[in-house]
Structures are given as C-alpha cells and as structure tokens.
Amino acid sequence: MKKGDLLELDITGYAFEGKGVAKIIKDAPETDTMEPKKFVVFVNGTYPGDKVTALVTKIRKSYAEAKVKSLITRSSLRIDPKCKHFGVCGGCKAQDLTYESQVKFKEEQVKDIFERIGGLEKFEDLPIEPSEKTFFYRNKMEFSFAEKRWLTDNEINSMQEVADKDFALGFHVPGVFDKVLNVEECWLQSKLSNRILNFTHGFSKKHQLLPYSSQKHTGFLRNLVIKQSFSTNDLMVNLVVSEESERLFIEYKAELLERFPEVTTLVFNVNKKLSQVAYGDYEIVAHGPGFIYDLIGECKFRISANSFFQTNSSQAVKLFSIAKDFARFTGNEIVYDLYSGAGTIPIFISKNVKQIYGFESVEPAINDATINIELNNVSNFKPILADLNKTFLPVLQEKAIPKPDILITDPPRSGMNPKIVKDILELNPKKIVYISCNPATQARDTKLLCDGGYRLIKIKPVDMFPHTYHIENVALLTK
C-alpha cells in the first residue's frame, strides 16, 4: 500500500473524531507461524455498513488514513443531511447519521478510550445522556470574514468567471486557514441568527467593506459573533473589526435594529492584533447594555461579548446535575472547582455545599464570576485567580484556604497540566469529579490520579453537541 492508492473497503467500525474503520488482513511471511495481523484504515465520512472506494492519504506503521472517492453500498444508518453546506463546512461531521447511532457510537467510544488509553477497568459506564434538541441548540455562533471564498467543485469545473470570489462570511473549511465557506444557513443556532448572518453579508457588500487579511494586514471586517439566550430572549450581535469607523457603526446599527428589533444589544469589538481571534482590544457598546443574560437551571448568568459560557444551555443543566449527583454532597463539604470560569458550576451547586472555592487563570472570567455571585445572591463561593498551568498550592497557603473534601475539575480540551494533577494528589480530597470535553486527555489524567491512590468508580457521557464528534464526560474518582 502506498499514498494515492485506491482501495475498496468495507467499513465495520466507527472511531473517535468521526472516522469509519476498515480492517485489512496483512499477509504473514511464509516463515511466520503467527496469525496474519489486521491493518486498520480510518476513512473520514463513512459509517459501519458502508462499502466504499477510498483514496489513501496517509500511511503509518499500524494504520492508514483515507478519504472517500465513491460510495458503493450505503449504510442503513445513513440519512439525508438537512444542511446544504454539509460535507464542506466541517462543523457537523455526522449530520447524515441517525441521531440514535451518533449517541450509541459516542457512548462506546468513551468506554473504549478509558479502557484502551487509560488502561482502566472495573468501573461503571453509565448510559449517555442524549441532547433534547438535535438542531438549533447552540446559543453562540462565530462566523469569519475572508477575502478568499471557498469555491465549490461546480464553480471550479464551470471554467467561468466566478462572482463574489473575493468575499466570504461563514466558516473556515477544515485544514484551510485562508479560505472561508460562504454560509447562508446553519442548523446549529437559530433561524433568526441565519437571517442576521445574511443581512450582515448583504450590508458589507452594499457598503463595499473589505474583509481583514492576516497576511496583508489590511481590511476592516474580521468576525460576526451572535449570542442568543433561549430562556430570556436576549440577543447580542458582536461585530469584530480592525479599526473604528463611526459612520459605518451608525449605519450598521440603524439598519440592523430596523430589520431585527429582537436584538437587545450591539457591540463593536476593535481588534488591532495580527492574530485571527474573535475578540478585540476594546469594545464599543452601540446599543443595549453590552451583555445578555442566560439561565442554567434556576441560576442566572451575565454573558459579555468576550466571556465564555456553555454553548448548549439545556444540556449544561444535565451535565452539572450529573456532576452534583456523582459528588453526593451532604451540605458540610468544602469544595474546590478548578477552571471555574464565570462561576457556572460553583453557583449551580452552591446551595448543596458549605463553602466552594473556584480557581481560574483568566482574570476577566473572575470578574464575570463576581458579578454572577451578586446576581444569584450566593454567599459561599469565592473565585480566586490562580495559574492552573503551573501550580496553585502557593495561592492556598497565601490565602489560608482550607483543604477540600471534594474537588471538581473541568479543564480545557488539553486536560490538566501534570503539575496540577500532582497538586490534587497532595491535597488528597475524598472525591474527585472530573468533567471533560475530551475523553482522551481525561482518561490520561484519570490514570495518573489512579496511580496516585484513587479509583475510578463510574463515568457518564453527555452529548452537548449533536452531529459533531465532540462529547462531554463526567467521571467520579474516590480514594
């Protein structure tokens, strides 16, 4: 086998990150008395039951990767996707797979990761918690402007001059940093957000506004971010630009609010940095308070233009409830919450514990947490700025914070720094509740904790992001 080969493959499994699995029997040497070994080929965009012709794109010692050239036999698990951009956009990896199959595969993958990567056994794997909504479930979408539009195969093959190829508003195509797929609809947020997206595209073209180029460092438009609360009906439009323009700000505001009276706040973020990030050096609030409110359960949270918040609010209630059930609070515990952000988990569990300390590396998140404490009239939660990339033990000593009975941790996708794992082992809490958006790094960290004297009791996945390969998981460890 070599790169560029065409293979006819039967897809028999489904791996993490949304790749179909085919297995080829490797011929054993004549002198080899052992059984022939199976060589794995991962094929993007395929499902068990598919028979495909696939082009080999990468070869390693024990596996290869390939992409579909043609579908010979269609899996019975396949359905027709709703979105016309599916297959190019990359945001939804499995919109053409039945939702029942999506959650089944995610549940199996989490268990496999903990057993295979973590080398863990004798733990309870609870059924996955599916999402109530499978479409229009996101409360935030981030779109990018670009001066190079991703062209479809039909446009490329037409041999005709392509209109509007120098302007796009939508999503970056996977693996391509300088081209954006022009998006007219997205099934993940709301129909209203789609209308605002298309209005902004039309406004930009009418006023001949240029997208920012990270290579030439020219242009005005950088990002459009829409945040929407389904519980309070608050709606924020955040336009990220490279410089101030009072005239354009006034015109955009007037046309936007005339067309969409549902918009409760409008923010212009001015980002003068070279890096392509969807937040600015400073912001100008053009309409409303500059923030929105959303609910998780009975708890109310203020969300500013640049603050992080769970993107699926209804599933966040389930995720936090599972974490609370795993902890089995009595009301007398001192609790630590690592990577506490805007204080969502501490505030959610505040009525069930004696005292909770939240540790967070990002200062604006600490400010949001302070505001959310006041909003919810919480008196037993204290947010603390700490470097969670190194060690947070010095902060405990400096502020004379008592040791925890229970520790909750919800790190980013990269997981916890080994130094933080070491800190946890030194603190020696009775229970650890580990929430993660990446089961692979969670299993890695869990193994380190188990080597340090803990035992994995149970796990439960939660599907926060239907049609994607992303999966949240809650794990309980005890001494």
Of the candidates 164, 176, 169, 249, the residue with the CA atom closest to the CA atom of residue 211: 169
- Rounded Cα gap, residues 195 and 197, in angstroms: 5
Distance of CA 414 to the CA centre of its chain: 12
Options 89, 186, 437, 450, the catalytic residue: 437
- Rounded Cα gap, residues 86 and 88, in angstroms: 6
- Rounded Cα gap, residues 442 and 159, in angstroms: 49
Q: Judging by DSSP bridges, how do beta strands 265-270 and 235-241 pair with one another?
A: parallel
Active site residue 437: yes
Residues 6+ apart with CB under 8 A from 22: 7, 9, 10, 11, 12, 40, 41, 43, 54
Strand ranges (E), 159-312: 168-172, 180-182, 221-228, 235-241, 265-270, 282-287, 291-296, 299-304
DSSP state of 465: S
Helix (H) or strand (E) holding 124: strand 124-125
Residues 6+ apart with CB under 8 A from 158: none
- The residues carrying an active-site annotation are 437
